[in-house]
């Protein structure tokens, strides 16, 4: 992890396209402004992790669906 110190009004540039600017510092709260192209998705980490978990859950096969698929692959039992 790269650690940089910035003061209010100072920025960090990432790959010529993303600019992070420190807008204010109040106690242990830091407000950051982000300028990035519209095609770049930006999420708070907890939201991003929730989206990832939801995606994993929705793509996970349900056991009953797996059993039905196995039955179909086996074909009719004589």
- What is the full per-residue pLDDT of the chain (78 aa) written as tens digits? 999 999 999 999 999 999 999 999 999 999 999 999 999 999 999 999 999 998 887 877 677 777 787 888 887 765
pLDDT of 76: 73
Q: Return the pLDDT at 30.
A: 96
According to DSSP, the residues that pair with 35 across neighbouring strands are: 19
């Amino acid at each position: 992890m790269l650690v940089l110190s910035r003061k209010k009004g100072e920025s960090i540039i990432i790959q010529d396209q993303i600019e992070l600017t420190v807008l204010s510092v109040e106690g242990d709260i830091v407000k950051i402004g982000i300028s990035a192209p519209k095609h770049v998705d930006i999420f708070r980490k907890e939201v991003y992790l929730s989206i990832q978990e939801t995606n994993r859950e929705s793509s996970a096969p349900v056991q009953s669906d797996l059993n039905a698929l196995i039955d179909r692959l086996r074909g009719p039992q004589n």
